[in-house]
Structure 1
Amino acid sequence: MKRKYHQRTGQICLLLLAATLCWGCATPQETANLQQSINILFDRVQKLENQVQGMQGTEQKADLYARMEELQVKIGSLTGQLEEQQRQISRLGTAAPAAAPPSSSAAPGPSYAAAPSAATEPAATPKIVIKEEKNPEKAMYDNALQLYQQGKFLEARKEAKNFVDKYPKSDLADNALFLIGEAYYSEKSYKEAIESYQQLLDRYPKGNKVPSALLKQAGSFQKLGDATAARILYERIAESYPGTPQAQLAAKELKQLP
């Protein structure tokens, strides 16, 4: 199990490196390749999250959970860079001057003005196409998640809120509230993140996102310099959810608090 875990971690790191190396390219194709790398990376994180439940060692679970949290932050950073690159490509495409028609004295040859190519036309901004889903509920949640992956945190929050309003009894409703908190957390809006995680705790106290929401809420208080509130929440996680990755991480954070 440990060997497989290191292999998976190594594969994820390679994907991150590949995505980072692609940066600096300014062609639509390479931008699309970067987006594909991010999607693959996110899929790997999702699969690892599912496999955590089947692991036996609590310490290994906690370590893997922490690594997944770090990867999610990196995904948000990469997707934010991708969005900026897409805007640059779009600006370059629309600002490109039209080629002057060849003069009568010019030597015969192919004319780029007469036969526009992909290099002279405005570059198309690559986008992730949301596949049509038979289940509109899941499609709506996936859209909110996708916006978050792209670093569009405001749009992600709006879509996730609309999802909760429309499907309050959905199995994904607590995930949508957690996504709202994560979007605020990614923007370092820790007070708003705390409020969003609290909504999840109040509305879905038996949901599977409760331990994670408590952990991120404690982390938000810690970021704000409120060590007392953070300590209370870390202790609550350790006592209420013993043996879970969240409890293991809470115990580690408690040791670092003043």
Structure 2
Amino acid sequence: MKKSVLLISMVLAMPALAKAPVEDLGSGSADDRVAKLERILKAKQQTDFDMQRRLDSLQQEVLELRGLAEQQNYQINEMLERQRKLYEEIANLQSAPKPSQSASAAGAAAAVSQPVPSQGQSTPSPSAGAVDATLNETAAYEGAINLVLKERRYDDAITAFRSFVKQYPTSNYSDNANYWLGQLLYNKNELDEARGAFTVVVEKYPDSGKRGDSLVKLGLIAEKKGDKTGAKNLYRKVIQDYANSAAARIAQQQLNAL
């Protein structure tokens, strides 16, 4: 029985044994060889732990870089949209027909009939409310991002993203906000809540660039929950729907390991 256990231990420790001198394992009593195998296994476990820790650190760095790219893209798109609207307004002013004399008189009469704002008081633009809402939405999203990338206040960021997805459910960045929320909760090992956030991205935003990554995260959560069949199905879906993507490569690696 003891020899069988020893043989199994040697098979499991083959990667580590490959680096160990053969004469060290072949000499000495059976107890000595078992003790040496245990030391090798412990060293391998420590190496695996250190590697996983480095991988987690690299994953966090990638996450932060993606966040910066998203923030910059958002700002660039906002600038381009404002520029486009400005050009349209200029074009409309240049192409607008000059009013006839009677129309001018009617316009003047209508202007006279309107109340004149008092000094220091301006007439609000019809779209001012929409502009303010957009600015508030942008500020809220960027504030939540900065809590992660600049201030590294992850618990506060969770609160901020929760507030954002609740207050702006139809925002163009709701999918990103839900993904960030899921990632932060996943890092805290709050798997059930993280799964809820990733599921929102998958089900509500089929065209989102974060959908493939969210499916991978759902697969990882399924693995941690012991649901290997569910994890495999999720990884296969990523590989099928997002072939040649970074998400598909991660899914393939996880699938191969199961």
TM-score range, shorter chain: 0.3 to 0.5
Instruction: Normalising by structure 1, report the TM-score.
Output: 0.47
More helix by share: 2
Instruction: Normalising by structure 2, report the TM-score.
Output: 0.47
The structure with the largest alpha-carbon Rg is 2
